[in-house]
Amino acid sequence: MAVMTSQLLRPVHPAHRFDEVALLRYATAHLEGFPSPSQLERFSITQFGHGQSNPTYFLEAVSNGTPPVVKRYVLRKKPPGVILQSAHAVEREYQVLKALGDHTDVPVPKVFCLCHDSSIIGTPFYIMEYLEGRIYADNILAGVEPEKRRVIYLGVARALAALHRVDVDLIGLQNYGRRDNYCKRQVVRWERQYLASTGEGKPDRYPKMLELAAWLKQNIPIDDSSTGSATGLVHGDYRVDNLIFHPTEDKVIGVLDWELSTLGNQMCDVAYSTLAYIVDNTPTESGSIGGFDYTGRPEGIPSLEEYLAVYCSLSGKPWPAENWKFYIAFSLFRGASIYAGVYHRWTMGNASGGERARFTGKLANAFVDRAWDFINRKTVLPPQPPLGIMTSEISSKVVDQYKDTRYSSKDTGKFVPSQKVIDLRKKLINFMDEHIYSFETEFYKLAHSDKRWTIHPEEERLKDLAKKEGLWNLFIPLDSAARARKLLFGDKANENPNDLLLGAGLSNLEYGYLCEIMGRSLWAPQIFNCGAPDTGNMEVLLRYGTKEQQEQWLVPLLQGKIRSGFAMTEPQVASSDATNIECSITRQGDFYVINGRKWWTSGAMDPRCKVLILMGKTDFSAPKHKQQSMILVDINTPGVHIKRPLMVFGFDDAPHGHAEIVFDNVRVPAKNILLGDGRGFEIAQGRLGPGRLHHCMRCIGSGERAMELMVERALKRRVFGKTIAEHGSFLSDLAKCRIDLEQTRLLVLEAADQLDRFGNKKARGILAMAKVAAPNMALRVIDRAMQVHGAAGLSSDTILAHMWANSRTLRIADGPDEVHLGTIAKLELVRSKL
Ligand SMILES: Cc1cc2nc3c(=O)[nH]c(=O)nc-3n(C[C@H](O)[C@H](O)[C@H](O)COP(=O)(O)OP(=O)(O)OC[C@H]3O[C@@H](n4cnc5c(N)ncnc54)[C@H](O)[C@@H]3O)c2cc1C
């Protein structure tokens, strides 16, 4: 039965009272928006009766306006009296809640302030947002309709998966705990805690508990290392009654009680969250400890296998059958130790759970018995997840994710990404499944309406979400990030929260595995701030920008607040040979004056586009490759005239567009020059290396998506008495697509790897190969997919036509094929002479 959080409030327990006046003084000074003494009409403090560890209070401040404004907060503090060292660390709770709230979409209450000073209310405390919602205090969800029970349980698994997907390195929690030997250390810790709570002069010690500790020590999972697949943020007390559900919808809005959180083996959380299948952990006088395996599973509650399958799918964790006995036995052991501690505190009149704590001594021993019963079972989980359940019960997106078996950290070989990249890839796939594909139609609708040059509000919301998930600016290579970090943040680089804007510290090769996923949707790259031409422009500013240029243009670009364009190509000259460029950039005192006509400046139609990097000539008489310079132009400078958006096979690519622009006596401050006069070619080499490889990586994603659509269609559509998939011509086309894709993927990854190892210049041959191979491969694969779709494939009812148009442009926009072929051939000739 659910209770509203407000129903859990009680008068403050006498043992937990504190100086309310001191708190009021503190709140007035430290809580933003808290009423001033002259405004305050009423201030009340009550206590949550639920939970047994750190006393938690509800604060309500009513100010005297009309109507009166009511502010509600929650305060959490350490319990009074002598407490076990390392327990009740509210400072850590605050730290983890702050990091999760600021950088992820894990549902947690917002925290406002932390007070270390014990002189205010007797112990350190923090104050956070009050969430009004439902709490299910019992595991059986008594009184809840069966269908809802199921949704609630799967919601519990979903929220846990979200929490376990968090990349602690990206949100500043990298030092939140030791990662290695988690299980081993935990067994020792809880055994020690048990010993401290029992024995002479304290509640009796249970010998089987000590035997259990010994068994656990002998059965520590092999995957207990700091880099194991289960390593990450651990909640430590993840169970249904520590979750707040939305008042009316069946979704988790707050994960509470982070007292035991740390870094370590996340499977311990998973097992603990499933204890209801083994024991009912709500203490009662009867002594019965329930457990669905013993009392029967209430109607609607999913099977354990199903719960785990959903969790594994959404978190990307392996099926835990191998060590499940350990994890459950450990959870019961830890539960027993906690209950023994609560019971001990109760005997001293110190537990915040009130009279319910009276039964926890018995419960602790019953948990130990259950652990032994479980250990002695023949089998506890099937060796594989029940795939049948997954496909029928979870949406196709989850199945898709399960299918991403391409990379495993257990493999070895040149092109096996690190665990970090595998995790980011899973996160990205999940994000695409949950947020991108479902919005494509919406985005297209707007892009074809008379509001085509405006931004869909969902796009900005999704950008915020991607940023929170750490899926932001992933394209930034390590070395470029290092330069900008030093320039922008100096010595304080690592403390600066903006540091997260500088990507995830990936190499070009590592980014390749991720960029491919973004390429599956034409809308995706900009959601992750990884879209062209911004990536290339940011790369220029990261590598060559001055501190001032970076502060003015790079930071807002990194934040995703503005967009940019790259203006090189001119209609009147063959621009694949950039020495032909005629646009003039003439120095006049503290300014440069620009005159010329550009076209195909992608992104310049976007209402968020604020800056252009323009290539022109500062000295027409200098040697051929020293004439060109690049300069930053604020798009709103007088004399910048956007003439028209250009169309690609009828697609204008709104709202970003490709613009024709006239520069008519455009005066730009001299400090806007990049790197210096005559350095344009040098910059172009830096810009076009990695930037253009991104196109190739995305082509792989486009090809994969086209193939998927092709297969889907062929399995459903019947022609001449059988499905298309049963026709031999289709099978041969499909096989050719796979060959095309696999060989191109390897070439692109190899190019990225060489770019990382040898740099742009030395890797130019293989980069040129990738640039020719990738768009051509995508065109062949998409073309075959369009063929299988018949007329629909050429329409705008599927994404295929737009994807094909986009890939076709890359054979020119990314430098014509012939130019790259020329580079490859020249290198071959040079090699033959060696
Ligand atoms: C969708 C799209 C987006 C674009 N975005 C941008 C942008 O954001 N900023 C920007 O500045 N430009 C952009 N461009 C322009 C693009 O970079 C140029 O079109 C490209 O560099 C080729 O220049 P060009 O069109 O002047 O062709 P030309 O230089 O006139 O070349 C025409 C043809 O000549 C042949 N050719 C060229 N060189 C050789 C050679 N060495 N050997 C044999 N044959 C050769 C090729 O067949 C080539 O296609 C974009 C173009 C498109 C289509």
pLDDT tens string 696-749: 999 999 999 999 999 989 988 899 998 999 999 999 999 999 999 999 999 999
Residue 790's pLDDT band, with cuts at 50, 70 and 90, is: very high
Whether 331 maps to a domain, the answer reads: yes
Q: Decide if pLDDT at 233 tops 90.
A: yes
Beta bridge partners of 47: 10, 57
Q: Check residue 334 and give its pLDDT.
A: 94
Q: Determine the distance separating the centroid of ligand 1 and the alpha carbon of 675, expressed in angstroms.
A: 25
Q: Check residue 492 and give its pLDDT.
A: 65
∠ CA 698-704-708, nearest 5°, is 145
Q: Does 601 sit in the ligand 1 pocket, CB within 6 Å?
A: yes
Q: Check residue 648 and give its pLDDT.
A: 95
Q: In sequence order, which residues have a C-beta less than 8 Å from that of residue 791 and are 6 or more positions away?
A: none
The reply to whether 11 and 156 lie within a common domain is no
Q: Does 123 sit in the ligand 1 pocket, CB within 6 Å?
A: no
What is the C-alpha separation between 432 and 437, in angstroms, rounded? Answer: 6
Q: Is 183 helix (H, G, I), strand (E, B) or coil?
A: helix
Beta bridge partners of 26: none
Q: Decide if pLDDT at 678 tops 60.
A: yes
Q: Check residue 308 and give its pLDDT.
A: 93
The reply to whether 88 and 231 lie within a common domain is no
Q: Does 537 sit in the ligand 1 pocket, CB within 6 Å?
A: no
Q: Check residue 741 and give its pLDDT.
A: 97
Q: Decide if pLDDT at 332 tops 70.
A: yes
Q: In sequence order, which residues have a C-beta less than 8 Å from that of residue 300 and are 6 or more positions away?
A: 141, 144, 145, 146, 147, 148, 149, 150
The reply to whether 199 and 346 lie within a common domain is yes
Dihedral sign, Cα of residue 481, residue 487, residue 488, residue 492: positive
Q: Does 331 sit in the ligand 1 pocket, CB within 6 Å?
A: no
Residue 286's pLDDT band, with cuts at 50, 70 and 90, is: low
Over residues 478-497, the mean pLDDT reads 75
Q: Check residue 84 and give its pLDDT.
A: 56
Q: Check residue 397 and give its pLDDT.
A: 41
Contact 79, 350 (CB under 8 A): yes
Q: What is the pLDDT of residues 442-463, one digit of tens each?
A: 888 899 899 999 999 889 989 9
Over pLDDT 70: what percentage of the chain?
Answer: 92
Beta bridge partners of 128: 74, 111
CB atoms within 10 A of CB 651: 17
Q: Check residue 440 and give its pLDDT.
A: 87
Q: Is 652 helix (H, G, I), strand (E, B) or coil?
A: coil
Task: Provide the token pair at 161.
Answer: 């998966």
Q: Does 564 sit in the ligand 1 pocket, CB within 6 Å?
A: no
Q: In sequence order, which residues have a C-beta less than 8 Å from that of residue 83 and are 6 or more positions away?
A: none
Whether 31 maps to a domain, the answer reads: yes
Whether 100 maps to a domain, the answer reads: yes
Q: Is 59 helix (H, G, I), strand (E, B) or coil?
A: strand
What is the C-alpha separation between 809 and 62, in angstroms, rounded? Answer: 62
The reply to whether 155 and 304 lie within a common domain is yes
Q: Check residue 524 and give its pLDDT.
A: 97
Whether 339 maps to a domain, the answer reads: yes
Residues in the chain: 834
Dihedral sign, Cα of residue 495, residue 496, residue 497, residue 502: negative
Residue nearest atom 15 in ligand 1 by C-alpha distance: 813
Beta bridge partners of 366: none
The reply to whether 123 and 15 lie within a common domain is yes
Whether 585 maps to a domain, the answer reads: no
Task: Provide the token pair at 477.
Answer: 């290579």
What is the distance, to the nearest Å, from the Cα of residue 607 to the centroid of all Cα atoms in its chain? 27
The letter for the amino acid at 281 is N
The reply to whether 175 and 114 lie within a common domain is no
Q: Does 508 sit in the ligand 1 pocket, CB within 6 Å?
A: no
Whether 260 maps to a domain, the answer reads: yes
Q: Determine the distance separating the centroid of ligand 1 and the alpha carbon of 775, expressed in angstroms.
A: 15
Beta bridge partners of 231: 265
Q: Does 126 sit in the ligand 1 pocket, CB within 6 Å?
A: no
Q: Determine the distance separating the centroid of ligand 1 and the alpha carbon of 639, expressed in angstroms.
A: 26
Bigger pLDDT: 433 vs 210: 210
Residue 11's pLDDT band, with cuts at 50, 70 and 90, is: very high
Mutate to test the pocket of ligand 1, among 537, 566, 569 (most ligand atoms within 8 A of CB): 569
The reply to whether 217 and 331 lie within a common domain is yes
Q: In sequence order, which residues have a C-beta less than 8 Å from that of residue 154 and are 6 or more positions away?
A: 302, 307, 310
Over residues 58-82, the mean pLDDT reads 88
Q: Does 646 sit in the ligand 1 pocket, CB within 6 Å?
A: no
Q: Which helix (H) or strand (E) holds 594?
A: strand 591-602
Q: Check residue 388 and give its pLDDT.
A: 47
Dihedral sign, Cα of residue 351, residue 356, residue 362, residue 366: negative
Q: Check residue 535 and give its pLDDT.
A: 94
Q: What is the pLDDT of residues 128-183, one digit of tens each?
A: 999 999 999 888 898 898 888 988 999 999 999 999 988 888 888 999 999 889 99
Task: Provide the token pair at 326.
Answer: 């350990």
Q: In sequence order, which residues have a C-beta less than 8 Å from that of residue 775 and are 6 or more positions away?
A: 695, 696, 699, 807, 808, 810, 811, 814
Q: Does 812 sit in the ligand 1 pocket, CB within 6 Å?
A: yes
What is the C-alpha separation between 363 and 280, in angstroms, rounded? Answer: 10
The letter for the amino acid at 8 is L
Q: Check residue 184 and give its pLDDT.
A: 94
Structural domain for 32, as ranges: 2-132
The reply to whether 214 and 121 lie within a common domain is no
Whether 655 maps to a domain, the answer reads: no
Specify the CATH number for the domain of residue 785: 1.20.140.10
What is the C-alpha separation between 195 and 190, in angstroms, rounded? Answer: 8
Q: Determine the distance separating the centroid of ligand 1 and the alpha carbon of 570, expressed in angstroms.
A: 10
Backbone angles phi, psi at 27, to 5 degrees: -60, -40
> Would you tell me the crossing angle of helices 728-762 and 680-716 to the nearest 10 degrees?
160
The reply to whether 202 and 224 lie within a common domain is yes
Task: Provide the token pair at 487.
Answer: 């320039």
Q: Domain ends where: 78, 112, 132?
A: 132
Which atom from ligand 1 is nearest to the alpha carbon of 567?
A: 11
Specify the CATH number for the domain of residue 14: 3.30.200.20
Strand intervals (E) in 391-531: none
- Ranges 162-166, 227-231, 398-402, 531-535: which has the least confidence: 398-402
For 566-593, give one letter per residue: b (16+ CB within 10 A) or e: bbbbbeeeebeebeebebbbeeeeeebb
Q: Domain ends where: 105, 132, 159?
A: 132
Task: Provide the token pair at 407.
Answer: 């990379």
Q: What is the pLDDT of residues 358-411, one digit of tens each?
A: 888 999 999 999 999 999 999 899 887 765 444 333 444 443 433 455 776 667
Q: Determine the distance separating the centroid of ligand 1 and the alpha carbon of 580, expressed in angstroms.
A: 12
Q: What is the pLDDT of residues 87-114, one digit of tens each?
A: 678 999 999 999 999 888 899 999 999 9
The reply to whether 698 and 789 lie within a common domain is yes
Beta bridge partners of 722: 719
Q: Which of 535, 534, 522, 530 is nearest to 447 (CA)?
A: 522
The reply to whether 165 and 311 lie within a common domain is yes
Residue 226's pLDDT band, with cuts at 50, 70 and 90, is: low
Q: In sequence order, which residues have a C-beta less than 8 Å from that of residue 489 and are 6 or more positions away?
A: 496, 498, 499
Q: What is the average pLDDT value for the chain, to the nearest integer?
A: 90
Q: Check residue 355 and give its pLDDT.
A: 72
Q: Domain ends where: 132, 163, 183?
A: 132
Q: Determine the distance separating the centroid of ligand 1 and the alpha carbon of 116, expressed in angstroms.
A: 63
Beta bridge partners of 190: none
Contact 626, 678 (CB under 8 A): yes
Beta bridge partners of 673: 631
* Interface confidence (ipTM) of the complex: 0.98
Residue nearest atom 43 in ligand 1 by C-alpha distance: 818
Residue 310's pLDDT band, with cuts at 50, 70 and 90, is: confident
The count of structural domains within the chain is: 3
The reply to whether 127 and 38 lie within a common domain is yes
Q: Determine the distance separating the centroid of ligand 1 and the alpha carbon of 202, expressed in angstroms.
A: 83
Please report where in the chains the tokens 């082509």 appear, as a residue. Answer: 699
What is the C-alpha separation between 34 and 43, in angstroms, rounded? Answer: 11
- Ranges 289-303, 551-565, 567-581: which has the least confidence: 289-303
Q: Does 809 sit in the ligand 1 pocket, CB within 6 Å?
A: yes
Contact 471, 424 (CB under 8 A): yes
Q: Which of 235, 213, 187, 239 is nearest to 375 (CA)?
A: 213
Q: Check residue 519 and give its pLDDT.
A: 97
Q: Does 807 sit in the ligand 1 pocket, CB within 6 Å?
A: no
Whether 337 maps to a domain, the answer reads: yes
Q: Does 823 sit in the ligand 1 pocket, CB within 6 Å?
A: no
Q: What string of DSSP letters covers 382-415?
A: -SS--HHHHHHHS-HHHHHHHH--S--TT--STT
